[in-house]
Amino acid sequence: MTDERPLKVALLGCGVVGSQVARLMTTHAADLAARVGAPVELAGIAVRRPGRLREGVLSELITTDAHGLAGRPDIDVVVEVIGGIEPARSLISTAFENGASVVTANKALLAQDGPTLYAAADKYDADLYFEAAVAGAIPLLRPLRESLAGDTVNRVLGIVNGTTNFILDRMESSGAGYSEALEEAGALGYAEADPTADVEGFDAAAKAAILAGIAFHTRVRLDDVHREGITEVTASDIASARRMGCTVKLLAICERAADGRSVTARVHPAMIPLTHPLASVREAYNAVFIEADSAGSLMFYGQGAGGVPTASAILGDLVAACRNKVSGARGPGESAYTMLPVSPMGDVVTRYHISLDVADKPGVLSQVAAVFADHGVSIDTVRQQGKDGEASLVVVTHRAPDAALTATVETLRGLDTVRGVASIMRVEGE
Ligand code: HSE
């Protein structure tokens, strides 16, 4: 053991993740002290419902006065696992004003207001760590911020939401439709009672904003991220993907433009080849594929949610913040020096898979092909299957600006011979 004074930790929130942080801090106390160089003591836990039974958590540590706890002068590190914007934002401000370092899992707050949090950490000479905010247990932000600090990251392609990966994986393996797979995800505890944040892509978009900012040393906010969820994905999209040797994943994609002068960040379902490493990420697992100039391709894989895995990431940050307190050092602050602007979705260059229901008569194929040509979109493959005077036409394009692809689809919708656009999906990862 060490002679250093104990470092005092305030835990704000004691739900699925917080209760595991409290448990691990107690059961691993000796190892944490040895690794930090001083005992790490849980000094208080702020909760909203004090009467709730929390197994293994000392009841004398519980308080409902979160502001009082975050502002206590003896607190060295505040761990915020409440989530959401308020009261988390003001509690974190109180912690910094009090000179405490902050460890948080709050992706929504970081994606909305990251620069303000970094500025407060700087002003009060404190640390801000948030490994648990993106992809739960997976060490991702520290490798990006520290291990790749000497490299140039060009692309981040990730499955960063376990709920939607579980649903798409079930649709793929059982042929189920979206609603059926969502129901199964709810029954197994993967989807929340209100799954909107996951299935509409808000959760993944917040993570994409955080990843893009760190990867490209710039600022990307949630509003900068183009977002489409998985609610429109059909069993027939998944079957079409399979015919092309692809699978469908909800991807968070952050890219540096080819000229290096801007970045883009987007979340949407996409077809990826079965040969891509992300295609093998099943069930509720997360994985992030990073392409860097010198390192080449890297993949980070693991559990992106759950109390114990997320608590692992928080404890790692807690050890880092405590070590800095002992040595008088500071962890990395914001690195946004490139200030690269975020381009709109229309500027993204990608490929489309478009499935059309058309009349099966002479000239239809050339009429459809002319629409692609008029918008400067080059066709890669066309597959047609006719039946009783109607046909299904599947067109896969070469890479083109998303705005040109969107305009192509709009024009196709207006043709008399096009009965309907059955599905449109981007093709990525090639
Ligand atoms: N709800 C998220 C998921 C985990 O399904 O991956 C927390 O970000």
Residues 149 and 214 in one domain: yes
Which pair of tokens denotes residue 297? 């391709």
Q: Is 267 found in the same domain as 161? A: yes
**Do residue 148 and residue 130 come from a single domain?**
no
Domain that holds residue 226: 141-302
Measured from the Cα of 286, ligand 1's closest atom is 6
Please classify residue 166 by burial: count the beta carbons closer than 10 Å to its beta carbon, then call 0-12 exposed, 13-18 middle and 19+ buried: buried
User: Does some domain include residue 341?
Assistant: no
Q: Is residue 415 part of a domain?
A: yes
Q: How far apart are CA 312 and CA 314, in angstroms?
A: 5
- Per-residue model confidence (pLDDT) at position 52: 78
List the one residue out of 362, 416, 427 whose CA is nearest residue 394. 427
Residue 1 is predicted with a pLDDT of 52
366 and 422 in a single domain? The answer is: yes
Q: Are residues 45 and 122 in the same domain?
A: yes
For the Cβ of 44 lying below 6 angstroms from any atom of ligand 1, the answer is no
Rounded Cα–Cα distance for residues 266 and 345 (Å): 7
81 with 147, same domain: the answer is: no
Among the atoms of ligand 1, which is closest to the Cα of residue 203? 8
Q: Which residues touch 180 (CB under 8 Å, ≥6 apart)? A: none
The number of helices, as runs of H, and strands, as runs of E, in the chain is 14, 17
Same domain for 118 and 39, yes or no, is yes
- Tallying the residues shown for the chain, one arrives at 430
Instruction: Examine residue 403 and state whether it is found in any structural domain, yes or no.
Output: yes
Does a structural domain hold residue 222? yes
- Structure confidence by residue, pLDDT tens digits, 74-98: 999 999 999 999 999 999 999 999 9
Q: What's the pLDDT tens digit per position in 339-395?
A: 999 999 999 999 999 999 999 999 999 999 999 999 999 999 999 988 788 999 999
CATH code: domain of residue 289: 3.30.360.10
Task: Express each pLDDT in 54-77 by its tens digit.
Answer: 777 778 999 999 999 999 999 999
Q: Note whether 224 and 315 are same-domain residues.
A: no
Report the b/e string of 330-342 with b at 16+ CB within 10 A.
ebbebebeeebeb
CATH number, domain with residue 404 = 3.30.70.260
Give the pLDDT of residue 250.
98
Query: Probe ligand 1: pick from 138, 163, 182, max atoms within 8 Å of CB?
Result: 163
pLDDT mean across residues, the chain = 96
282-300 per-position pLDDT tens digit: 999 999 999 999 999 999 9
Dist. CA 61 → ligand 1 center (Å):
28
- Position 363 scores a pLDDT of 93
Whole-angstrom Cα distance, residue 126 to residue 249?
Answer: 38
Does residue 131 share a domain with residue 145? no
Domain identity same for 158 and 297? yes
Examine the pLDDT at 108 and tell me if it is beyond 70.
yes
Nearest to 211 by CA among 264, 156, 249, 148: 156
Instruction: Say what percent of the chain tops pLDDT 90.
Output: 92
**CATH number of the structural domain spanning residue 34:** 3.40.50.720
| Residue 2 pLDDT grade (very low, low, confident, very high; cuts 50, 70, 90) | low
For residue 59, the model assigns a pLDDT of 84
Q: Which of 2-6, 20-24, 357-361 has the lowest mean pLDDT?
A: 2-6
2 falls within a domain: no
* Distance of alpha carbon 87 from the chain centroid: 22
Q: Does 258 map to a domain?
A: yes
For the CA of 161, the nearest atom of ligand 1: 6
**Terminal-residue alpha carbon distance, the chain:** 53
Q: Which two tokens stand for residue 156?
A: 């981040």
Instruction: Please determine, for residue 203, whether its predicted confidence score (pLDDT) is greater than 60.
Output: yes
Residue 335 corresponds to which amino acid?
A: S
CA dist 45 and 62 (Å) reads 5
Whether 13 contacts 83, CB under 8 Å: yes
Residue 356 lies in a domain: yes
Question: Exposed e or buried b for every residue in 118-152, given b needs 16+ CB within 10 A?
Answer: bebbeebebbbbbbbbbbbbbebbbbbbeebeeee
Specify whether the CB–CB gap between 10 and 18 falls below 8 A: no
Q: Known catalytic residue: 207? A: yes
Query: Which of 8, 107, 207, 325 does the annotation list as catalytic?
Result: 207
Same domain flag for 359 and 377: yes
Read off the pLDDT of residues 416-429 as tens digits, 9 standing for 90 and up: 999 999 889 999 98
Supply 157's token pair: 């392609």
Asked if residue 39 has a cis previous peptide bond (ω within 30° of 0), the answer is: no
Q: Is residue 340 part of a domain?
A: no
Contact 158, 266 (CB under 8 A): no
| Domains of the chain: total | 3
What pLDDT sits at residue 51?
Answer: 79
Q: Whose CA is nearest to atom 7 of ligand 1?
A: 305
Confidence of residue 128 (pLDDT cuts 50, 70, 90): very high
pLDDT per residue over 30-47, tens digit each?
999 999 999 999 999 999
Give the domain-ending residue among 327, 361, 392.
327
Q: Tens of pLDDT along 259-281?
A: 999 999 999 999 999 999 999 99
Contact 305 CB / ligand 1 (< 6 Å): yes
Q: Are residues 205 and 288 in the same domain?
A: yes
3-state secondary structure of 281: coil
